[in-house]
Structure 1
Amino acid sequence: MLKEKIEKHLLEVQKPSRYIGGEVGSIIKDKSRIDVRFAFCFPDTYDIGMSHLGMKILYSLTNERENYWCERCFAPGEDFEAVMRENDIPLYALESLDPIKDFDFIGFTMQYELSYTNVLNMLDLAGIPIYAKDRTDELTQIVIAGGPCVCNPEPLADFFDIFILGEGEEVNLEVIDLYADMKKQGASRLDFLRKAAQIEGVYVPQFYTFSYKPDGTIEKMTVAEGAPEIIRKRIIRDMDSSYYPKNFVVPFTEIVQDRASVEVLRGCIRGCRFCQAGFIYRPFREKHADTVVNETKCLCENTGYDEVSLASLSTSDHSEIDPMLTKLLDYTVSERINLSLPSLRVDNFSESLLEKIKKVRKSGLTFAAEGGTQRLRDVINKNVSEEEIMNTCRIAFEGGYSAVKLYFMMGLPTETDEDIVGIAELANRIIDLFYSIENRPKGRGVQISISCATFVPKPFTPFQFEPQDTREMIEHKQKLLLDSVKTKKIKVSYHDPNVSQLEVVLAKGDRRLCDVIYTAWKKGCKFDSWEEHYRYDKWLEAFKDCGIDTAFYANRRFEYDEILPWDHLDYLVTKEFLIRENKTAHQSKTTPNCRLRCSGCGVNKKVGRECF
């Protein structure tokens, strides 16, 4: 049996508990009573995938149906993959230890572009044809994907049968219900895909073909008869009544975020022009404070976790943040549960909020300044002034903190050397502020950590039209920043520009990249987001072999009237709005956040209600 074969080799690998299942909270069902089996695949290791909130929600939701069984599957580490290939162990699901090639659905959540080769590797390990065109016409092995990366799924289009746009709580079950009905009727794969394409939020890539101009841009898209020309994403309208699990699978081994997690809101009011999540998760929706408190209590009591995190894009933007935290702290402090508060904003950080944070967090504080000068912060619509940054640091220092971490981006549109030097100058002014405060922490020196990510223009943002800086430009700016820092009280870290270049190519690419991804995988590329596994040289070989110039996707400006690879997908924010915001950015002007004034992004008209 497969189970015996797996157990025989577990002690040969690191963290064998990743591969055996049986955790508290995992769901086991009687296979004889199951109509549809769904393998929920995360294209990274168990440690990372088990931290993902979306998987926890959809896993529990699907298993609420007695006749559906959703099981988990993760990318094996290099050591266990070698064992699997040497001993003919196919990729399997953790609950049943059955091969996922025998399942009805093989579903992937696509969170990061650099996990694309892992998808191919997992399909290969499972014994499932990698290209969709090579799968049989039988109604089985439907390879499906959702997640933020499918807002431009074209670089993966040849490998998937279906993409789910937007939020999956409702549409996933609609697709599974349709499948169950058509499976009973003896329908073919093609029959099912034709009907599935009629469900809002479902994109079937084989019904869409592209032709290209001599300059490489898209000339037109041709749609098969009966398929919709535009596919609109799905959203959950009411967060308070939406499904949320009462229990999580509790791992045997430590994972990246080993805690309970409660979602407090979706979307974002801010409109930072670089932030893809802030646009593709619109409209802004929040849970009532009592809902958050009740879900927190339920999860902690059922899982035994002594730490809970509030999940959102900007937790402190919740309209009931103070009463919500007061109620949560009444519970967590009395039960000795640690409360984690990520996603804090500089411009709504207060002394009362700090007092609450101090009860649950003793380490340094982290804020996103993004730009080193006010001009650049206005370009990206950060809507944060230096006065607010300094006031936030003053509150932190007076409250007993001596360490602050600031996030910045490098290579932003219109950025100059003056903006880079401005990062170091801002950090120096924060140091001066620390020593000017009489009631600062005594006996400790100040420490400012600067983290600089390379800017990656992403689809469905006002900066989707922008080119990325070349590697040489980024390396010049990284050196300039290091040369501008004159004190050990400031520590600087930054990203590898070669990684960011691949990320933007895959984010903004079209269907011609499918063969590049396949070629790179055949050359040994996988776990590309892991520094020890990333093979930049092999990726360059793959692009060359396929006749693709990375600069076409990464380093040229996309024109406003150009047909973009994702133009047939509707994430509710209009292209006209994104163009308008792009022009406003180049005028160094800001747009107020959604609570202050509607900016006309188009979401409220499409969902049939005002956002606020």
Structure 2
Amino acid sequence: MGEFRLKESILKRVEKPSRYVGGEYGVRKKSKADFNYCICFPDVYEVGMSNLSIRIVEEVISRVDGAVCDRCFAPWDDLGKELKKEGELLTSLDLKMPLKDFDMVGFTLQYEMSFTTILYMLDLAGIPLKREERGEDYPIIQAGGPCAVNPEPLADFIDLFVIGDGEDSMRELTELKLKLKGVSKSRFLIEASKIQGVYVPSLVEVKYKENGLIEGFSIKEPIKKALCADLDKAPFPPSQAVANCESVFDRAVIEVMRGCYRGCRFCQAGFIYRPVRARGVKTLTEQACSLIKNTGFDEVGLNSLSTGDYPNLKELIKELKENLPEDVSLALPSLRLDSFDGEFVQETRKSSLTFAPEAGTQRLRDVINKDITEEDVERGLNMAFDNGYTGIKLYFMFGLPTETDEDIIGICNIVDKIRKIYSANPQRARRLRISVSASTFIPKPFTPFQWERQIGEEEVSRKVELLRSRLFHKNTYLSWNDFALSQMEAVIARGDRKIGKVLQKAYEKGCYLDGWTDKFNPTLWNEAFLETGVDKEFYTRELGEDEILPWDFIDIFVDKKFLLNERKKAYSATVTGSCKSGCKGCGIQKVYGCNL
């Protein structure tokens, strides 16, 4: 097969051919090596190019002598159809190698609705979907990322998972593959399973009861997540490829810290990324300066789950201002109202701000442990309005545990209060625009709410109508997500190995790129459930606290007893304070000195 870049006849027939040609400014030069790895992002190029994790994986592997890391992104369906029609295989972006010729192909699992896209990419690459159907001639298929904390829905397709941080585990995997070059897959997988964070599904059997619940796993010790203790010493790319077309975030990105001091009971990331680890100001300043110098971007994103909680944020902003060119601005996503500061507003000035109160009343915010008060809201908004902001985006959830109609109406009350705060100052002459976005609550593994049920479509529709009937102000806009999409995300998130049958059947029916609204087809998904005999509602029901859960053999170092106690506290609307106010005994302190 010739180089993909020469297939102009194909590129001329697809949308955005710049997605597929590679050769970006700043891209790392590569050549085939003793160990050839390809990191795949199961979504389109412009989404994947904004993802920091694939750049970190590329940096980690590229630092190992004798190894190379290439990239691949999911083709839009126009190119996918062209590849099938022309009999061409999916290739990597830089080396133009067919994926099936790599030693290992890895997928980053950022979103449950990307799982069928993994099957799509394997199929386009000419790689059998099921791991048991892949012989020695095919690459080892690996996966990692946040969704890997429940690997079971993909267990039939993936040879090995990396659970937790990838900096050390991916280096160890690379070194092991180089050391065991030429050995059988089965031998390599057995040796790989000894690395912390590595899970090999073929080595673990799952037994089920007649009622569909799990009876047990054939595993002696839980799979302990990989944990990168010192981010200052961790590999971080000094440059990044500048996308050939506009990406979701066209800017340089540094990770200021990993983990979150808060304990929002619905938030999976807040638990699976424990403990909090912050990079030093000196490290971050050097990383930002290097990225700007090597890319020419005019903006640096300070990324974390809650950037406003970074311990030395003011010092960091000061150092960045002094060391970066004057025309480079800073982006601080993930700011909370209670960590909002006028100085940050000045440095990240935009026309609109985004906040996530999540719930409409203080009672429900206490239930979910979203420790934001009405006073925090008023103070933060006044500060924003005084600095010229005229747009507010608010994010809420439907269907949270203990939610009542009063909590839904509370969303409208917050909107009314925002308008009053804005109009209280006559100098604010411009019209205020408020966008309210509501999504259906999705119970996720390793959270205190992992046992909760997800509400049904009728309940969601009624809550939406309740909101619509009261949000009638001009320049107030309400949007809500597709219930069927949220339901499918919940099913996969809490799924077991039986969901693998559904994923394969759904893909065979044409389901992939399901995170895109215009590509998601609930009718085809429903047919897949019917034809495989799998009941969706089995996975959206309230789970028993004594059940063995599909992910119970994974150890993220947060005790199950702690999660159960947090669930109990939720039902009494009792708040658990931030880690900064003292150790809460979640379990991570037993294996890691949190140094709080």
TM-score tier, shorter chain, comes to over 0.9
1:189 corresponds in structure 2 to 185
8 Å contact kept, 1:152–1:508: yes
Question: Equivalents in 1 of 2:303, 2:34: separation in Å?
Answer: 34
Partner deviation per Cα, 1:271-308 (whole Å, 9 max, x = no partner) = 00000011101100111122211111110001111111
Q: Which of 168, 174, 177 is matched with 1:176 structurally?
A: 174
Aligned residue number for residue 229 of structure 1: 221
Contact 1:341 1:357 in 2 (8 A): no
Task: Give SS of 1:25's match.
Answer: coil
* Bigger mean CA deviation after superposition, 504-513 or 242-251: 242-251
Equivalent position to 2:454, from 463, 468, 473: 468
Alignment match, 2:594? 610
Residues 487-513 of structure 1, C-alpha deviation per residue, up to 9 Å, x if partnerless?
114221111111000000000010011
The one-letter code matched in structure 1 to 2:338 is D
Q: Is structure 2 residue 451 aligned with structure 1 residue 453?
A: no
Q: Secondary structure at the match of 1:159?
A: coil
Once the two structures are superposed, residues 193-214 of structure 1 have per-residue CA deviations (whole angstroms, 9 ceiling, x without a partner) of 1111111110001111112222
Q: Give distance in 2, aligned partners of 1:47 and 1:61.
A: 22
What is the aligned partner in structure 2 of residue 143 from structure 1?
141
- Aligned ranges for residues 387-426 of structure 1 at < 5 Å? 387-426=375-414
Match of 2:3 in 1: 3
1:201 aligns with 2:197: yes
- Tell me, in whole angstroms, the C-alpha distance in 1 between the residues paired with 2:367 and 2:594: 27
Aligned counterpart, 1:64: 63
SS in 2 for 1:464: coil
Q: How does 1:72-221 map to 2 (within 5 A)?
A: 72-137=71-136, 140-183=138-181, 186-221=182-217
Displacement of 1:606 after TM fit? 1.9
Task: State how far apart, in whole Å, the 2-side matches of 1:348 and 1:248 are.
Answer: 30
Tell me which amino acid in the other structure corresponds to 1:468.
Q
Distance of 2:125 and 2:248 partners within structure 1: 26
Q: Which residue is equivalent to 2:420?
A: 432
Residue 509 of structure 1 aligns with which residue? 495
Q: CA deviation at 1:81?
A: 1.0
Q: C-alpha distance in 1, partners of 2:177/2:344?
A: 49
1:319-359, CA deviations, whole angstroms, 9 ceiling, x for partnerless residues? 11111112222344x4301211111111122xxx3234224
Q: Equivalent residues in 2 for 1:205-604 (5 A)?
A: 205-223=201-219, 228-332=220-324, 334-349=325-340, 353-438=341-426, 440-442=427-429, 444-554=430-540, 556-604=541-589
Three-state SS of the structure 1 residue aligned to 2:178 is helix
> In the aligned structure 2, how far is the partner of 1:512 from the partner of 1:575?
24
Amino acid at match of 1:344: L
How many angstroms does 1:611 deviate by? Answer: 4.2
Task: Give the deviation of 1:89 after TM superposition.
Answer: 1.2
Q: Report the Cα offset of residue 61 of structure 1.
A: 2.4
Q: How far apart, CA to CA, are the structure 1 residues paired with 2:350 and 2:204? A: 53
Deviation at 1:365, TM superposition (A): 1.3
Rounded to whole Å, the distance in 2 between the matches of 1:424 and 1:206 is 51
CA distance in structure 1 between the partners assigned to 2:81 and 2:188 by the alignment: 36
Residue of structure 1 equivalent to 2:27:
26
Q: Is the 8 A contact 2:59 2:235 kept in 1?
A: no
Aligned partner letter, 2:303: A
Contact (CA 8 Å) 1:137, 1:190: kept in 2 or not? no
* Structure 1 length-normalised TM: 0.95
- Relative to structure 1, the CA distance from residue 489 to residue 30 in structure 2 (aligned partners, 3 Å threshold; closer, same or farther) is closer
The C-alpha deviation readout for 1:142-183, integer Å capped at 9, x for no partner, is 000000110001000000000000010111111111111112
**Root-mean-square deviation over aligned CA pairs:** 1.3
Give, in whole Å, the separation in 1 of the partners of 2:255 and 2:31.
31
Q: Does the C-alpha gap of structure 1 residues 328 and 516 become closer, same or farther in structure 2, counting only changes over 3 Å?
A: same
Following superposition, the deviation at residue 79 of structure 1 comes to: 1.1
In the aligned structure 2, how far is the partner of 1:51 from the partner of 1:397? Answer: 30
CA distance in 2, matches of 1:187, 1:66: 19
Distance 1:30 1:212 in 2: 47
Q: 1:236 Cα shift?
A: 1.0
**1:58-93 C-alpha deviation (Å, 9 max, x unpaired):** 112211234111000111111111111111110101
| TM-score for the superposition, normalised by structure 2 | 0.98
- CA distance in structure 1 between the partners assigned to 2:311 and 2:503 by the alignment: 43
**Matched residue SS, 1:12:** coil
Q: Does 1:39 align with 2:38?
A: yes
Distance in 2 between residues matched to 1:271 and 1:187, nearest whole Å = 45
Query: 1:393-425 CA distances to partner (integer Å, 9 max, x unpaired)?
Result: 122222222222211111111111110011001
Give 1:582 deviation, angstroms.
0.5
Q: How many residues align?
A: 595
Equivalent AA in structure 2 for residue 8 of structure 1: S
Q: What stretches of structure 1 of length at least 5 have no aligned partner? A: none
8 A Cα contact 1:102 1:141, kept in partner: yes
